[in-house]
């Protein structure tokens, strides 16, 4: 029989599936409580987003188990928001043996989720509609990253200054997946990027972590006010990283490469202005 904790994971997953499906239906112009028979139209968005989040968290989970680090199954977080969720998390219990296991665990989630998000973006963009600039009225305008902008140009073959893209729900889920990847890779505290930074640079991590707080504040003033909230959250959660058990064990070349790949992914997926306005 499943224990109480396992039931919690299942209940949260089901709840998140429902809220993201409702969100996906709304994105398709369906009002679920008025048109319950059309709620299924929210499934492309819901299933894609959940798969991205699940891949991210299970990558952490299985890599943690591989290194004998205690970790829970993913906790999905349902939310009454435009995307129906606040994401998903797993809980790891220290200690973490060394920097090799730390970088394996920290980088596995972003890289796994990134791969699925790119696939979703490619498929979704090929299904998206292109409209002349100014034809789309109202709604929310979303920013773009280096990678998503590149994929849009390659797949749709349009001039971004002359056309707007009405994202297919699968493409929107892919866009969210790329944004979540970049947020997790911020080199602060115990975010995935913080794990990777600590694995690469050791105690220098705290100075990088501290330095990112004013950077987020500047981004909040210059680009998107949400970065100020992120700075406050990071200050509250803390910028330090707990030490590993065997800090003298050096990273091998392969893991250093993984760390720098994660940095490149962060640069490619970072979106200075996620939401441009209404």
Q: Would you state the pLDDT for residue 64?
A: 96
Query: What's the rounded mean pLDDT across residues 61-72?
Result: 95
Using CA of residue 100, residue 103, residue 108, residue 111, what is the dihedral sign?
Answer: negative
Residues of the chain with pLDDT > 70: what percent?
95
pLDDT tens-digit map of 235-245 = 998 888 889 99
Rounded Cα gap, residues 88 and 264, in angstroms: 23
Tell the residue number behind the tokens 């994971």, with chain if given: 9
Q: Would you state the pLDDT for residue 160?
A: 66
pLDDT above 90 (res 272):
yes
Residue 125 · residue 91 · CB < 8 Å: no
Read off the tokens for 162: 């002359």
Query: Treating both helix axes as pointing N-terminal to C-terminal, what angle do 253-269 and 146-156 enclose, rounded to 10 degrees?
Result: 70
Which of 111, 134, 186, 142 minimizes the C-alpha distance to 27?
A: 142
pLDDT band at 4 (very low <50, low <70, confident <90, very high): low
Rounded Cα gap, residues 242 and 189, in angstroms: 9
Residue 60 · residue 109 · CB < 8 Å: yes
Which of 36, 14, 28 minimizes the C-alpha distance to 171?
A: 28
Q: Would you state the pLDDT for residue 40?
A: 94
CA angle 109, 113, 118 (to 5 degrees): 150
The whole-chain average pLDDT of the chain stands at: 92
- Provide the whole-model pTM: 0.93
Using a CB cutoff of 8 Å and minimum separation of 24, what contacts does 30-33 make?
none
> Which phi and psi (to 5°) does residue 141 adopt?
-100, 130
Q: How many CA atoms, within 13 angstroms, populate the side-chain half-sphere of residue 108?
A: 19
Which of 47, 54, 45, 117 minimizes the C-alpha distance to 88?
A: 54
Q: Domain spans of the chain?
A: 4-277
pLDDT above 80 (res 106):
yes
Q: Helices then strands (H, E): number in the chain? A: 9, 8
Query: What's the rounded mean pLDDT across residues 266-270?
Result: 98
């Amino acid at each position: 029989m499943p224990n109480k904790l396992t039931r919690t994971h299942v209940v949260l997953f089901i709840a998140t599936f429902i809220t993201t499906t409702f969100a996906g239906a709304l994105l398709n112009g369906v009002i679920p409580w008025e048109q319950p028979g059309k709620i299924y139209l929210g499934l492309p968005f819901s299933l894609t987003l959940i798969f991205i989040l699940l891949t991210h968290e299970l990558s952490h989970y299985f890599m943690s188990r591989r290194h004998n680090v205690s970790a829970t199954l993913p906790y999905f977080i349902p939310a009454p928001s435009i995307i129906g969720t606040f994401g998903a998390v797993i809980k790891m219990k220290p200690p973490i043996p060394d920097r090799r296991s730390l970088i394996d665990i920290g980088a596995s989630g972003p890289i796994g989720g990134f791969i699925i998000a790119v696939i979703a973006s490619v498929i979704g963009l090929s299904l998206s509609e292109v409209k002349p600039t100014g034809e789309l009225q109202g709604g929310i305008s979303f920013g773009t990253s280096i990678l998503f902008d590149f994929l849009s140009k390659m797949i749709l073959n349009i001039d971004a200054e002359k056309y707007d893209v009405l994202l297919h729900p699968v493409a929107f889920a892919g866009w969210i997946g790329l944004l979540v990847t970049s947020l997790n890779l911020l080199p602060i505290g115990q975010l995935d990027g913080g794990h990777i930074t600590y694995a690469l640079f050791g105690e220098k991590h705290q100075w990088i972590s501290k330095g990112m707080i004013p950077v987020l504040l500047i981004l909040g003033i210059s680009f998107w006010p949400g970065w100020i909230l992120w700075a406050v959250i990071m200050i509250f959660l803390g910028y330090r990283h707990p030490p590993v058990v065997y800090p003298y064990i050096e990273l091998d070349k392969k893991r250093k490469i993984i760390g720098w790949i994660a940095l490149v992914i962060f640069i490619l997926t970072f979106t200075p202005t996620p939401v441009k306005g209404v």
